[in-house]
Each structure stands twice: as C-alpha cells, then as structure tokens.
Structure 1
Amino acid sequence: MRNYIMGLRPQRLPFRRFTQRSAVAIITRQGTHGEEILFIKRATRPGDPWSGDIAFPGGKQQQNDNSIRDTAIRETKEEINIDLAQQGIFISRQIDVLTRRHNKLAPMVVTPYHYQLNSSSATNNDASHPALNIRLNHEVAEVIWVPTTHFHIAKNTHHFRWTPAPHSIASRLSISLPCYYYDNHRVWGLTYQMLRDFITHREINNA
C-alpha cells in the first residue's frame, strides 16, 4: 500500500514556486560495513524547538542561490564543510515534502537531494579518515553516520508520544509519532518522513 501511495505522490509540488523553499542533502557513502547515511545533530539553542534534533544538512533558499539544489550544496558546505559539488556525485532529486515555516503557519516546501560521496571522499572521512575534513558550524553539534540497513529492519521502527506545545494549553494533547532510534538518537518528524520516502523509493526501484 505504501508503494502504491508513493506512486501517486507528485515528485514536485505544483505550488512550490509560491512558497518558501528549503533543501536538504541526503548524503551516502560506502563505509566499512556497507552503505551509510549522514545525519547531523542540531546544536542546542534557546527558543529553538528543534534543538538537539537529528536532521539532514540543509536550510532555506537564499536569493543568491542559482537553484534549489544549489541551496542544498551551500548549506551542507556551511554546516559541515562537505563540498558536494566537488566531493559528491549527484544521484537523484527526492519527493518534495510540505511543511510549515519555523514558528509560522505559512507553508514551506522542502526538497531532498541524494548525493553519494565519491570514492576518494568516501574512504577519507571524519576522525578515522581526515581528508574529508568535516568542520561543524554553530548550528551543528555532531555528525552521525548510520548504516542504511538499520532502516530496513522493521523492529527498528518505534513510536513515541509527542506534545506540540509543552508550555501551553496544548500540552494536554499528545500524539503518537513514528521514529527510528540509533545509539540513543531519535529520527522523527520531517527527517523521518524524508528518510522513509528515500528508503521506500529505493525499494520500489530495486523490486
């Protein structure tokens, strides 16, 4: 059923040009134990409801970005110092995801782009392979590599109770949301949705 629904969803939302646009990079590499996906852990910042969350590198489109894909490249370079234009191979554009702007009800469209690190970068990364030269800016606390196979195992999908506004009357409400856990890191929300789309899309293509 999920595969059928995925087939009905448009890859590009028709009204995307009239909303705030953002882009993220889904970065993969060949690690010691097979393919891995890169996540960032957001830095803890006062007033930021997503502080400490697990995410993909990315952010809002700026006026000087030539395209929304350039946004993903620029934000990745700024946040973790990986230059996808030089160190990555563009694989595919993923399905647009509709969300809302930070602290606003206005809609925002997020476009994920899949990049695979080229062989020289993929085998030279982080602490054990210093040539990748990952450097974190003030928005990022940590980079985490997770084996792709982790997300193909059904028992690794969990649910947790989420309260939309813990310090308001809405704190009495809570909903059950799906998530993944990996080494005490929780992948949920928009990142979970984009990750599930990414995994499902590949399963359909490999079927």
Structure 2
Amino acid sequence: MNPPWKADRVARRLAAAGHTLVSPEAADRHAAVTLIIRPRRGDLELLFVRRAKVPGDPWSGHMALPGGHRDGADADLLETARRETREEVGLDLPRRAFLGRLDDLHPVTRRIPSILISPFVAWHDRDIGVATNDEVQYHVWVPLGALRDPARRSEVRFADGGRERMYPSILFEGDTIWGLTHRVVMNFLDILTERVNR
C-alpha cells in the first residue's frame, strides 16, 4: 500500500520527472494554468472549472484549469499562474505552494490562436473555499482515483479544420475533461503512476 500523498512527495515526483519546455518564440502568446491539488481521505483531489460561455472564445464552456494569458506586469509565468488563480477561483496561493511544472503545450491547429501554455502544480490544504469570478460557471473537485478509473474514459468527437477527430476524455458526474486540460491531467497522472510503480 502506498503512503498518503503529501506535498513533498508530489514535489519529488515532479522534480524527478522533469518537464519539457517549448521556446517562447514558438507562439504569439504565452499562458499559464494551475493544476491545484488538495489532500482528502488519503487521496488527492484536483480542481477543475467550467469556463463561462463567451462568443469567440475557443474554450468557451469547457472544463479547464484556472489560468490565462501572461500580462506584461507578470514577473514570470509562475506569477501569471498565481494571478489567474487568484482572479478566477479566489485562491491567493503563495509561491511556496507551487510544487513544480508539467510539460509545456503548444497546440497547432487553425481552430485556436497561436499559444504556448505552461502548466504548474500547486498544493492547497488551507481551509479557504473557492470563490469563482464571472469567467467561470462553476468549479468541481475531482478525486485522483476517479481520474485514473478506466471506466470513466471516453472520447469526444470534434470537427477540427473541416475534419472530424476523436479526442480522449474523462467523464465525471456529467462533466467531460478533454483537449488541452486532458493532456495536462494525463501528464500529471503519468508522472505519479510511473514513480509509484517503480
């Protein structure tokens, strides 16, 4: 039986796995997202938000992680992640709460603008609730066990550039996690599983 998840244990796995960086010149814009985890009953829960429906937004109504575009006032991408987390879900996470990074994402499709996304992982165990802003319809905490459950795996059919494609997804209580968010989550799950099974 594996020991319960603690912040230092997750941080060690992230550090051991490392992360792939993409050159900032690869995209017109740079963004950061935060995968927020909290300990619950010996497991972890991950925070997801459903984005508000906004005309012209390619991620409108999708399940996502708190995050957004880098602002000129942000000292670095970690500050972008912190600011966006504070604005979207009301959690003012200190820099020490961030445990590491996951692989950069650089989606190449005509459906969305040229963007580079840097995901960070943060630990949240304080008794402070989530308070979403108008960019978010609602939030949900999803147990790690549910994200790993093969019975919850599915696919999303989506028209991309005139061609219909199938994208892997995870279903949870009526919500579908897919696309870039799914890629971030699977990167995180792969790191935890790989390190635990060694």
Q: TM-score over 0.5 for the alignment?
A: yes
CA distance in structure 2 between the partners assigned to 1:101 and 1:138 by the alignment? 27
**Residue in structure 1 matching 2:155, options 153, 159, 177:** 159
**Residue in structure 1 matching 2:181, options 191, 194, 197:** 191
Task: Give the 3 Å change call, closer, same or farther, for CA 31–55 of structure 1 in structure 2.
Answer: same
**1:200: which partner in 2?**
190
CA distance in structure 2 between the partners assigned to 1:33 and 1:42 by the alignment? 29
1:182 paired with 2:182, answer no
| Structure 1 stretches of at least 4 aligned residues deviating more than 3 Å after TM superposition | 7-10, 100-105
Identity of aligned residues (%): 26
Deviations 1:82-135 (A, max 9, x none): 01117x7221111111125996553x21111111113xx1xx2xxxxxxx1422
**1:92: which partner in 2?**
100
**2:74: which partner in 1?**
65
Matches within 5 A, 1:38-49: 38-49=47-58
Larger Rg: 1
CA distance in structure 2 between the partners assigned to 1:24 and 1:8 by the alignment? 19
Matches within 5 A, 1:119-130: 121=126, 124=127
Task: Give the 3 Å change call, closer, same or farther, for CA 154–98 of structure 1 in structure 2.
Answer: same
Superposition deviation, residue 10 in structure 1: 5.6
Conservation of the 8 A alpha-carbon contact between 1:10 and 1:95: yes
Q: Normalising by structure 2, report the TM-score.
A: 0.82
CA distance in structure 1 between the partners assigned to 2:111 and 2:152 by the alignment? 31
Q: Which amino acid aligns with 1:89?
A: A
Conservation of the 8 A alpha-carbon contact between 1:33 and 1:147: no
Superposition deviation, residue 9 in structure 1: 9.4
Task: Give the 3 Å change call, closer, same or farther, for CA 104–197 of structure 1 in structure 2.
Answer: closer
Task: Give the 3 Å change call, closer, same or farther, for CA 18–63 of structure 1 in structure 2.
Answer: farther
In structure 2, the residue corresponding to 1:98 is in which secondary structure? coil
Superposition deviation, residue 160 in structure 1: 2.4
Superposition deviation, residue 153 in structure 1: 1.6
CA distance in structure 2 between the partners assigned to 1:154 and 1:9 by the alignment? 26
Between 17-26 and 48-57, the greater mean CA deviation after superposition: 17-26
CA distance in structure 2 between the partners assigned to 1:39 and 1:183 by the alignment? 12
**Residue in structure 2 matching 1:113, options 111, 114, 120:** 120
Q: Which amino acid aligns with 2:174?
A: N
Conservation of the 8 A alpha-carbon contact between 2:19 and 2:102: no
1:21 paired with 2:40, answer no
Q: Tell me how many residue pairs correspond in the alignment.
A: 181
